[in-house]
Structure 1
Amino acid sequence: MKLANSFHKLLNLIDNYFFSGFLGEMPNDIWSSLYTSWLKLAGAKIGKGSKVHHSVKVWFPENISIGREVRIPASTDMAGMGRISIGDFVLIGANVDFITNHHPVGNEKLEQSEILRGTQSSISVGNNVWIMNGAKLVGGKKGLSIGDHSWIATGAVVVKDIHPHQLWGGIPAQRIKDLQ
């Protein structure tokens, strides 16, 4: 466990001082290609034609799988303590959060380390999904699944599974309509 923590600290240092500093002045397309390559080296599975913007925060890249022709734009947060799987041809807006961890609340007596460690869940996004700006996908206790050809509206907070071909929006997100 200590070795894994040291490795992640090293990745963060390299990211903060090398990529964000030195390479941060490069054009976005070059930077995205380099950052995407770096994530692959760190263990992320990223499909052909996909790119990750340099400002995307990726935690535990080894838990992240991204399909073909996916663009992950500015200020997205991928908290990959649990598994994050994104299908092919997914459109993701800026400032989207993928949240795969949670911790218990209530009257339970827990050690501080248990609270900080929390519980991991997974988020699975199907193919041809559109996640608009500012949406939050929360894995919760059971995980979260977004069906193929679904849309998630701007600012939505998704805490329930979404079936294929549906538009969801709101806080918490609810089905607005079917897309067929």
Structure 2
Amino acid sequence: MILQGNDPYRGPSFSFGNRVLRALWGIVYLLLFKISPRTFHAWRVLLLRAFGAKIGRGCHIYPSVKVWAPWNLSLGKHVGIADGVTLYCMDKIRVGDFAVISQGAHLCCGTHDYNSENFQLIAKPILIGIHAWVCAEAFIHPGVVVPEGVVVGARAVVSKSLSVPWAVYAGNPCRQVATRKHLEK
């Protein structure tokens, strides 16, 4: 999908097929997804699935959620994705059952190799565990794993995978600030 060794100043970073599919998704997003009524969660799930997203039952995805490439998105059951969330899924984003991604959070799978001559675009997957909560306006970097039951505090910046499940992390840089009671499944 990502072209290697290209000149990003003069040419695309993605294959032609990828760009066409993203253009089609962009049209569907603008005409059918973004303007849909807030309560039409099933409709938005249907549109995302039509573009290859794997989505469990009972998910709530709000109309102002931005999804870069639905075919790289996998949501468990009963996941909530709030208004203003950006799912920049250049690589896979997987969100576990009963997880919540709050308003304005940004999950970003893409970055650049700042040491390469062509500022090579790179992508790494993001995994959000079951019962996790990514709070408002938090930023999750490429390649990060957020374990089961973790709470990532509002406006936290998570640049490395978190190690302790059922913990609360906050700040920039993100660090553990508390533990969380383990929820029954």
CA RMSD of aligned residues (A): 1.5
- TM-score where L is the length of structure 2: 0.84
Q: 1:134, CA displacement in angstroms?
A: 0.8
Return 5+ residue gaps in structure 1 as ranges: none
Structure 2: which 5+ residue stretches go unaligned?
A: 1-14
Three-state SS of the structure 2 residue aligned to 1:37 is helix
Q: Deviations over 1:5-60 (max 9, x none)?
A: 1121111022213443xxx2x53112x32111100110000001012111111011
Aligned to 1:29: 39
Q: Is residue 10 of structure 1 aligned with residue 19 of structure 2?
A: no
Write the mapping of 1:150-165 to structure 2, written as runs, cut at 5 A: 150-162=150-162, 163-165=164-166
SS of the aligned residue for 1:28 comes to coil
2:138 counterpart letter in structure 1: A
- Counterparts of residues 19-168 of structure 1 (less than 5 Å): 19-20=33-34, 24=35, 26-30=36-40, 32-106=41-115, 108-110=116-118, 115=119, 118-139=121-142, 143-162=143-162, 163-168=164-169
2:178 equivalent to 1:172: no
Given the superposition, is the C-alpha separation of residues 28 and 126 from structure 1 closer, same or farther in structure 2, using an over 3 Å criterion?
same
Deviation above 4 Å: which 4+ runs of structure 1? none
User: 2:46 and 2:136 mapped to 1: Cα distance?
Assistant: 25
Instruction: Decide whether the 8 Å contact of 2:74 with 2:94 is kept in 1.
Output: yes
Q: Counting helix residues as a fraction of each chain, which structure ranks higher?
A: 1
TM-score normalised per structure 1:
0.86
Deviations 1:86-113 (A, max 9, x none): 000012210010000110224x421xxx
Alignment CA distance shift 1:27-1:18 (3 Å): closer
Greater alpha carbon shift after TM alignment, 117-126 vs 78-87: 117-126
Percent identity over the alignment?
Answer: 24
Letter in 2 for 1:16: L
Aligned counterpart, 2:11: none
Distance in 2 separating the partners of 1:2 and 1:130: 36
Does the 8 A contact of 2:37 with 2:63 survive in 1? no
**1:62 is paired with a residue of what secondary structure?**
helix
Contact 2:108 2:139 in 1 (8 A): yes
